[in-house]
Structures are given as C-alpha cells and as structure tokens.
Amino acid sequence: MKTSSPVVLVIAPHPDDETLGCGGSILKWKEAGAAVHWLIVTTIEGVQGFEPSRAESRNLEIDRVAELYAFDGVHHCRLPAAQLDALTKGELVGAVSSVIRDVKPDTVLVPYRNDVHSDHAAVFDAAVSATKTFRAPFVGAIYAYETLSETNFLLRPDDPGFRPNLFEDITGYLDRKIAIMGEFEGEMGDFPFPRSEECLRALATLRGSQANCRAAEAFMILKEIR
C-alpha cells in the first residue's frame, strides 16, 4: 500500500466480511493516516427470512462498527443479501461503480473470487469490472482478502485455493479486531465454528508465522501499479 495518505475502499458483500478479512489492517491503516471507506453491497431489509426488527438491529451494528473503525465514509448499495446472482451484471456493476467513482480510491479490497458464498463471487466480478483502468484510472492496487467460513470451505478441485502473496502485520490490533467482530449479533460462535475467537486467532497466528510476526492478515495481489 502507498505510504502517502492512501485512500482505501474495502468492499464487503455483507457487513462483517471486512472485519474477518482485514479488520486488523483497517485499524492499522487508519492509525497511519489513511482514509478508509467501507462499501457494504447487500442489505437484509425487505429480504425474505429476515424480520424487520433484525434489519433494524443490523443497522445499529453497522453504525457501531463504523464508529469503532472511524471510517471516513460508509457506503451502501442496498442490494438483497444472498440474491446477488439473481441480478443482472449491469445492476451490480453499476451500483459498485457509482461508489468507486465517488470515493476515487487508490487501493481496493475485494473478497476472494472463489469463496463458497455466491454473493462473494458476484461482488468480486463486479468490482473487477468497475475498476478496469479505463473506468477507474485512479485505482492503483487491488487486493483480495480471505473470509473465514467462506474462503476456507472452498471444495473446487479446479481451484488452487487462496494463495497469499501479501501480508499485513497486525500485531497489537488483533484483540480489537475480535472485539469489533463481536458487535455483529449471531455471527460469532463457539469453536469449532469457523467464526469463533479461537479460529480468528489461529488464522492470524498462521499468517503471522508465514510473515515472521505474531499476527498477520493475508491478501492476494491482483493488481499493483508502482
């Protein structure tokens, strides 16, 4: 990532993906002076299976998390959760492109393309389309993050899996990341549930061992212009 006041856009298919994938890095980047924006692509408002009261409490969770990260902007596409594959490509690309044009980030974070959740794949494809150089020439770096319970459950024999080639040392930020994850009601569980405190710490430790630090988050470099 650039060292001179970067503008970062973290694209999350669902609120909590940003915390699972790069919560420690967000805290570190903010502390270093970066402007970090959060794009939440989906909503559960009006979506079958979710009570209106749950949608209201989710909005309160988003507000609390935004405050804890001190995001410079929170943006919403408000597309139906778990139904993105039913939308046209143009609808999704248009919604993501609109935010990218407004924010003009130089660094974009996206979910891994082959996560098991179809929303993640749809968001990845839309983000890649929206950040083509002739559409968003200001974007100099695109990194994919991993999401516990989605990336690690990939069972496609034709895919080599998430292979990180960029690591962010989040030593000193992991406890805050886990605390923020706890703000999302019902998203954390007891081990061996993948979104448990033990699993979050284990993944950070594993990535730290690969990067020679106590705790790290890992990314795949998809594009980086220097």
Each residue's pLDDT tens digit, 149-174? 999 998 888 888 999 999 999 999 99
Q: Which residues, other chains included, contact 2 with Cβ-Cβ below 8 Å and sequence gap of 6+?
A: 106, 107, 140, 141
Average pLDDT over the chain reads: 96
pTM for the structure as a whole: 0.95
Instruction: Give the 3-state secondary structure of residue 223.
Output: strand
Residue 65, pLDDT above cutoff 80: yes
Looking at residue 61, its amino acid is E
Each residue's pLDDT tens digit, 91-128? 999 999 999 999 999 999 999 999 999 999 999 999 99
Token pair of 206 as six digits: 């594993």
- The pLDDT of 162-187, averaged and rounded, is 97
Give the pLDDT confidence score for residue 27 in this predicted structure. Answer: 98
Distance between alpha carbon 150 and the CA centroid of its chain, in Å? 12
Residue 223, pLDDT above cutoff 90: yes
Token pair of 92 as six digits: 């999704």
- Contact criterion met (CB below 8 Å) for 84 and 65: no
Specify the fold of 7-224: Rossmann fold (3.40.50)
- The pLDDT of 179-193, averaged and rounded, is 96
- Contact criterion met (CB below 8 Å) for 104 and 138: yes
Least trusted range by pLDDT, from 26-30, 81-85, 91-95: 81-85
- Contact criterion met (CB below 8 Å) for 65 and 14: no
Give the pLDDT confidence score for residue 49 in this predicted structure. Answer: 86
| Sequence ranges of the domains in the chain | 7-224
Q: How far apart are CA 68 and CA 120, in angstroms?
A: 24
50-58: long-range contacts, CB 8 A cutoff, minimum separation 24: 50/81, 57/185, 58/15, 58/185
Instruction: Give the 3-state secondary structure of residue 189.
Output: coil
Give me the residues paired with residue 143 across strands: 109, 221
Residue 82, pLDDT above cutoff 60: yes
Least trusted range by pLDDT, from 70-74, 78-82, 141-145, 155-159: 155-159
